[in-house]
């Protein structure tokens, strides 16, 4: 019944027919997004494959760093870009995350260096002017290590020399830095061949280490015998040799510099690094001190940095002997480093000057310690002419010193320059010098001193002054006697002489009786002369009148 009612309510509908499900077929419209997905995936894979490593660089300051704008360059070619800039956890540094190109993955070595390039004025010149318009960038200097790393600490100061610059570095030891700075030039025979690249205080604080870089091909002239000295500014020295002024160039006067040179003479030839000694030369050669060629210095070789060229070029002496000379006179003008000469040849130098008090004699003395170089006083053999060996043991040296002193070996102060007052010590043999007792137990051995030429001049001057004082005393006594005795008599004589002159003036006056009588006498003398002339004329005419007398007047007619 229920079924019948339901059937009457529903309309007549068509019956459903079941059909089998059709298989899905791709439409053409789906090709475009599929291709786009594939292209995008390929590009993503390409970017991932071509993307270089990401590194971090620590800087003390973020000045010049900007994410997305600051580039990393190697030889002015972009190799990366700064992605992020943030502070470190302790806020003491700035950490820059840098994404490098894939080609730069080989740059990430243990000794690779990074720094920020900005406009900078240094001793070597002006750099980084291009960053005034383009902005600062991070520069790279690829190292030579075999180890890899991705965390780096940037340099505070750009390096003067990069790793690819041909040449070698050397280390110089000095007691102080002086006026040197990074970038100051290094000279060889007044040519600029390198520069100072770094300096640091020694760990013990007793000196400094200066690293210099010498460019190729000039680095081949740095040998094991090379001497370096500080050529900064103007080297003015006042020594026993007088006033000396030395400088390398005008640039060294302004910013300083270092110069080097090998001592002239045997042993200054250079062996090229690529050339080996011939077997014959090696067999016949002698040590460098005896004339063998000097070898090129190795990289990072350590040298002494001398204060002046004269100090650097001093001939080294393998053996030195220490002596003391006790002077009783003033040693003003004698300084440490003054030469000790034997007949004009430098055989030593002064190393210290002191003063001591002798309680027994109640006297002050000035002991001066010196170094003597025995190799400069070699004895020649009479038979072969060869130099006899220098005494090596203490007993041999004492025996030789005793012989020298017994033969009159003495020391004296001598003037080296009268203008500067500098002194030096001269040693020589004085056979007539007073004998002294040799004390072999002393150390150092004492060389007796005798008065020098200057002291003799001083004594002579003192004697002359004493004689002059005596002479002046005698002159003073004579003057007093003159004042007491001679001067009154001289005054009386002058008074009488004045009176005599007045009388003479009175006599010589025109109206004086003497003048009148003198004129009368002259007139009479004139008349007498006229009479004599008349008589002589008469005798000339009548000479017989001298016998017969004057003829009568009528005979004249």
H or E, element range at 283: helix 279-284
User: Based on the domain organization, do 334 and 445 belong to the same domain?
Assistant: yes
Q: What is the biggest distance separating any 2 CA atoms in the chain, rounded to whole angstroms?
A: 258
Asked if residue 477 belongs to a domain, the reply is: no
User: Based on the domain organization, do 61 and 147 belong to the same domain?
Assistant: yes
User: Based on the domain organization, do 306 and 174 belong to the same domain?
Assistant: yes
Asked if residue 347 belongs to a domain, the reply is: yes
Q: What is the pLDDT of residues 293-341, one digit of tens each?
A: 568 889 889 999 988 887 888 766 667 889 999 998 888 888 888 899 9
Asked which of 21-25, 78-82, 220-224, 416-420 is least confident by mean pLDDT, the reply is: 21-25
Count how many domains the chain has: 4
In the block, tokens 């007549």 appear at 12
Share of the chain above pLDDT 90, in %: 14
DSSP 354-410: --EEETTTTEEEEEEEEEE-GGGSPPBPTTT-PBPPPP-SHHHHHHHHHHHHHTTEE
Domain boundary (99, 123, 153) is at 153
326 DSSP β-pair partners = 367
User: Based on the domain organization, do 296 and 343 belong to the same domain?
Assistant: no
Asked if residue 486 belongs to a domain, the reply is: no
User: Based on the domain organization, do 375 and 248 belong to the same domain?
Assistant: no
User: Based on the domain organization, do 441 and 388 belong to the same domain?
Assistant: yes
User: Based on the domain organization, do 259 and 342 belong to the same domain?
Assistant: no
Asked if residue 468 belongs to a domain, the reply is: no
User: Based on the domain organization, do 185 and 140 belong to the same domain?
Assistant: no
User: Based on the domain organization, do 444 and 327 belong to the same domain?
Assistant: yes
Asked if residue 517 belongs to a domain, the reply is: yes
For residue 168, which of 69, 301, 295 has the smallest C-alpha distance? 301
**What is the average pLDDT score of the chain?**
78
Asked if residue 284 belongs to a domain, the reply is: no
Asked if residue 29 belongs to a domain, the reply is: no
pLDDT band, very low/low/confident/very high, at 368 (cuts 50, 70, 90): very high
For residue 249, which of 229, 267, 231 has the smallest C-alpha distance? 231
Domain boundary (415, 434, 451) is at 451
Residues 6+ apart with CB under 8 A from 341: 347, 424, 425, 426, 427
Asked which of 49-63, 133-147, 307-321 is least confident by mean pLDDT, the reply is: 307-321
Domain boundary (312, 344, 370) is at 312
515 has a pLDDT exceeding 90? no
Instruction: Give the C-alpha separation, 335 to 353, whole Å.
Output: 8
Asked if residue 116 belongs to a domain, the reply is: yes
pLDDT band, very low/low/confident/very high, at 211 (cuts 50, 70, 90): very high
439 has a pLDDT exceeding 70? yes
User: Based on the domain organization, do 144 and 267 belong to the same domain?
Assistant: no
User: Based on the domain organization, do 441 and 336 belong to the same domain?
Assistant: yes
187 has a pLDDT exceeding 70? yes
User: Based on the domain organization, do 342 and 437 belong to the same domain?
Assistant: yes
pTM for the full predicted model:
0.54
User: What residues make up the domain containing 231?
Assistant: 167-272+291-312
Asked which of 242-251, 335-344, 446-455, 496-505 is least confident by mean pLDDT, the reply is: 242-251
CB 173 within 8 A of CB 209: yes
């Amino acid at each position: 019944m229920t079924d019948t009612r339901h059937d009457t309510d529903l309309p007549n509908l068509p019956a459903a027919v079941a059909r089998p499900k059709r298989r899905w077929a791709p439409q053409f419209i789906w090709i475009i997004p599929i291709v786009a997905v594939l292209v995008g995936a390929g590009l993503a894979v390409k970017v991932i494959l071509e993307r270089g490593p990401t590194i971090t660089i620590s800087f003390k300051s973020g000045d010049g760093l900007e994410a997305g704008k600051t580039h990393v360059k190697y030889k002015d070619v972009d190799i990366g870009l700064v992605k992020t800039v943030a502070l470190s956890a302790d806020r003491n540094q700035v950490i820059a995350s840098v994404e490098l190109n894939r080609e730069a993955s080989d740059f990430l070595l243990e000794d690779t260096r990074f720094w920020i390039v900005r406009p900078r004025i240094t001793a070597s010149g002006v750099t980084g002017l291009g960053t005034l318009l383009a902005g600062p960038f991070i520069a790279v200097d690829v190292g030579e290590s075999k180890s890899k790393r991705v965390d780096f600490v940037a340099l505070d100061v750009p390096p003067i020399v990069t790793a690819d610059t041909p040449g070698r570095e050397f280390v110089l030891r000095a007691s102080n830095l002086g006026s040197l700075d990074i970038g100051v030039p290094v000279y060889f025979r007044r040519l600029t061949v390198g520069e100072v690249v770094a300096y640091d205080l020694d760990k013990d604080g007793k000196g400094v280490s200066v690293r210099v870089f010498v460019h190729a091909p000039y680095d081949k002239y740095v040998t094991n015998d090379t001497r370096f000295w500080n050529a900064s500014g103007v080297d003015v020295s006042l020594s026993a040799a007088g006033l000396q002024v030395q400088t390398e160039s005008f640039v060294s006067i302004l910013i300083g510099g270092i110069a080097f040179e090998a001592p002239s003479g045997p042993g200054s030839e250079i062996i090229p690094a690529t050339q080996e000694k011939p077997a014959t030369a090696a067999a016949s050669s002698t040590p460098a001190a005896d004339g063998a060629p000097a070898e090129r210095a190795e990289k990072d070789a350590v040298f002494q940095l001398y204060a002046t060229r004269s100090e650097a070029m001093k001939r080294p002496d393998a053996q030195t002997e220490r002596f003391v000379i006790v002077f009783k006179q003033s040693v003003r003008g004698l300084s440490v480093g003054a030469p000790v000469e034997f007949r004009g040849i430098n055989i030593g130098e002064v190393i210290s000057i002191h003063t001591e008090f002798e309680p027994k004699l109640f006297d002050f003395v000035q002991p001066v310690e010196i170094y003597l170089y025995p190799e400069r006083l070699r004895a020649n053999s009479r038979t072969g002419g060869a130099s006899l060996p220098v005494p090596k043991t203490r007993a041999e040296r004492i025996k030789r010193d005793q012989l020298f002193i017994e033969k009159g070996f003495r020391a004296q102060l001598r003037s080296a320059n009268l203008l500067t007052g500098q002194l030096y010590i001269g040693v020589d043999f004085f056979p007539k010098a007073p004998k002294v007792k040799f004390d072999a137990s002393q150390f150092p051995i004492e060389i007796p001193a005798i008065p020098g030429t200057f002291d003799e001049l001083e004594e002579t001057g003192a004697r002359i002054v004493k004689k002059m004082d005596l002479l002046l005393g005698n002159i003073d006594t004579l003057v007093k006697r003159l004042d007491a005795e001679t001067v009154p008599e001289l005054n009386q004589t002058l008074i009488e002489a004045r009176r005599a002159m007045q009388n003479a003036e009175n006599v010589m006056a025109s109206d004086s009786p003497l003048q009148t009588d003198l004129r009368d006498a002259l007139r009479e003398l004139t008349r007498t002369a006229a009479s004599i002339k008349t008589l002589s004329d008469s005798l000339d005419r009548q000479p017989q009148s001298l016998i017969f007398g004057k003829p009568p007047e009528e005979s004249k007619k």
